[in-house]
Amino acid sequence: MPADLEIERVVNAKVGIVHLGLGAFYRAHGAIFIEEAVARSGGDWAIAGVSLQSPTTRDRMAPRNFEYTAVELGPDGETRRDVRIIRDVLVAPESPEAVLAAMASPDVKIVTLTVTEKGYCHEPSTGRLNQSHPDIQKDLANALPVSAPGYLVRALQRRFAAGLAPFTVMTCDNLPHNGKVVRGVVLDLARLIDPALADWIEREGRFPSTMVDRIVPATKPEDIERLSAVTGRNEDGLVVHEPFRQWVVEDDFVGGERPDLGAVGVELVSDVAVYEHMKLRMLNGAHSSLAYLGYLSGHKTIADTMADEALAGFVTRLWSEEIIPALTPPPGVDLAGYAAALKARFANTGIRHLTWQIAMDGSQKLPQRILSTLGENLKAGRSSPRLMLAVAAWMRYVGGVDEAGAPIEVKDPLAARLRELFDSAATAEGKAAALLGVREIFDPALASQLQAPVAEALGLLLSQGARKSVQSL
């Protein structure tokens, strides 16, 4: 197909998707897949992005009319592409009415989300709506929402009142059973607002689960400056990413309406669970383990961490001895081969993925990335010394002081409370008990089984440091 025809299809497509949380990951992953699907097969699937917190993304992208550059960072160099599928970026705090109007438009068939685990205002240990969350309290009291679930429910409420079909809600965040979790949160909130609305969403709505995979490190100012000098244009919207990408989507959309995703490599399946477990536990679980242990060992990036023989050996055995035994592989997937591919991806020196960045929001990530595997191993009688050490490393990290006595800038919605709990006891046993008592993270039954081994691992970290603790395994 002529390239000019493909570009014409993209630039002329009307908005059919609203995306909540227009960060770097979605622009380096989902938006590119959707643009390719439109270029290949046509359709009005352009994207209107929404920033739920600040105007930063809008202000960076506006000078080029929301076109931006995506740079693939491979071991042998970089490849650039222009992405043109985004039409506008709305800023929710500035104009919540404009966001709701866009979502309620009959032209919009899908609302996608990347709002991070904490953006769903749920309890990570149960997956249910946290009704006491401050944003949810505001959403219950006001017709103009502030949270992602609030925007979903209030926009669906407008479509319900107008006699329109609901839009498909498709989350692209790293949550186990992410579609089911978002459906549950939306239904919980809708039922508190209007039971009839909740019944309609439950009957007519669609919430396909997905699995997304691409490493997207934070864009640095020097990246923008360097590329701007090369291209001679504004590159403030730049995103960088690794070559690998994967998107697995349950093919369950309202009225069957969606872009031609299968034509561009998206895996359309009936059940995403086995793919999701594989990725969350093998990639994200290993990423988080390396982030805490690597940071405490003095490594700034995952590539630096993988260059450390002790930590590279740690993650290799973590996969083979503790994570893979707890997984059922997706059809046709060799988990040992997947682990080998992950090891190569983590070691890619072109990707400067900060351990500090991956360590953010651990209270929201721990249950699905690490604790679910730990729970299954305990039930099966399998030992998990490396996963226990990873949990202990998270505890050491949220204590807020590194091994050299320097402060750690802990980014977590529970940061102050976690630091207080860590400091509340003088011994490793006491610190572990205090943190294992955080019910938003740890199920009580699991916490009781973790107390002794995690306290032992934390004691090792406090006395010997992260690297020596890893070597001892």
Q: What is the CATH number of the domain that holds 47?
A: 3.40.50.720
- DSSP assignments along 18-64, one per residue: EEES--HHHHHTHHHHHHHHHHHH--S-EEEEEESS-SHHHHHHGGG
Q: Is the same domain home to 134 and 194? A: yes
Same domain, 265 and 326: no
What span, in angstroms and rounded, lies between the C-alpha atoms of 471 and 226? 39
Q: Are residues 64 and 22 located together in one domain of the fold?
A: yes
pLDDT attached to residue 49:
98
Cα–Cα distance list, 245 to 59, 212, 215, 228 (Å) = 28, 8, 8, 26
Residues 182 and 261 in one domain: yes
Listed residues 216, 243, 269: the one ending a domain = 269
Give the contacts of 407 (CB within 8 A, at least 6 positions apart).
400, 401
- What CATH number does the domain containing 325 carry? 1.10.1040.10
The residue type at 339:
A
Same structural domain for residues 223 and 282?
Answer: no
Rounded Cα–Cα distance for residues 146 and 462 (Å): 41
Q: How far is CA 186 from the centre of its chain?
A: 19
Helix/strand/coil (H/E/C) assignment for every residue in 284-308 = HHHHHHHHHHHHHCCCCEHHHHHCC
**Per the structure block, which two tokens stand in for 300?**
């700034």
Write down which residue in 269, 301, 331 finishes a domain. Answer: 269
Read off the pLDDT of residues 350-367 as tens digits, 9 standing for 90 and up: 888 999 999 999 999 999
Q: Which residues contact 348 (CB under 8 A, 6 or more apart)?
A: 73, 74, 75, 215, 242, 303
Tokens standing for 270?
A: 């009936």
The number of domains in the chain is 2
Do 216 and 304 share a structural domain?
A: no
Strand partners, 46: 15
pLDDT at 240: 96
Radius of gyration of the chain, Cα coordinates, nearest whole angstrom: 22
Residue 320: strand, helix, or coil: helix
Which residue segment(s) compose the domain that 411 sits in? Answer: 273-472
Q: Which of 250, 269, 288 is the last residue of a domain?
A: 269
Residues making up the chain, counted from first to last: 473
410 in the same domain as 389? yes
* Tens-digit pLDDT string for the chain (473 aa): 567 878 899 999 999 999 999 999 999 999 999 999 999 999 999 999 999 999 999 999 999 999 999 999 988 789 999 999 999 999 999 999 999 999 999 999 999 999 998 999 998 878 899 999 999 999 999 999 999 999 999 999 999 999 999 999 999 998 889 999 999 999 999 999 999 999 999 999 999 999 999 999 999 999 999 999 999 999 999 999 999 999 999 999 999 999 999 999 999 999 999 999 999 999 999 999 999 999 999 999 999 999 999 999 999 999 999 999 999 999 999 999 999 999 999 999 988 899 999 999 999 999 999 999 999 999 999 999 999 999 999 999 999 999 999 999 999 999 999 999 999 999 999 999 999 999 999 999 999 999 999 999 999 999 999 999 999 98
* C-alpha span between 327 and 345 (Å, rounded): 21
Q: What share of the chain is helix, strand, coil (3-state, %, to 5)?
A: 55, 15, 35
Q: Give yes or no for a contact between 26 and 68, defined as CB atoms under 8 angstroms apart.
A: no
Residue spans of beta strands (DSSP E) within 108-245: 110-113, 168-171, 210-213, 239-241
Check whether residue 277 and residue 264 sit in a common domain: no
- Using CA atoms, how far residue 454 sits from 317, 371, 401, in Å, is 18, 12, 19
pLDDT score, position 186: 98
Pair 150, 234 in one domain? yes
Residues 379 and 287 in one domain: yes
Claim to verify: residue 327 and residue 443 sit in the same structural domain: yes
pLDDT of residue 452: 97
State whether 378 and 438 are in the same domain: yes
Q: How many other β-carbons are positioned within 10 Å of the β-carbon of residue 216? A: 20
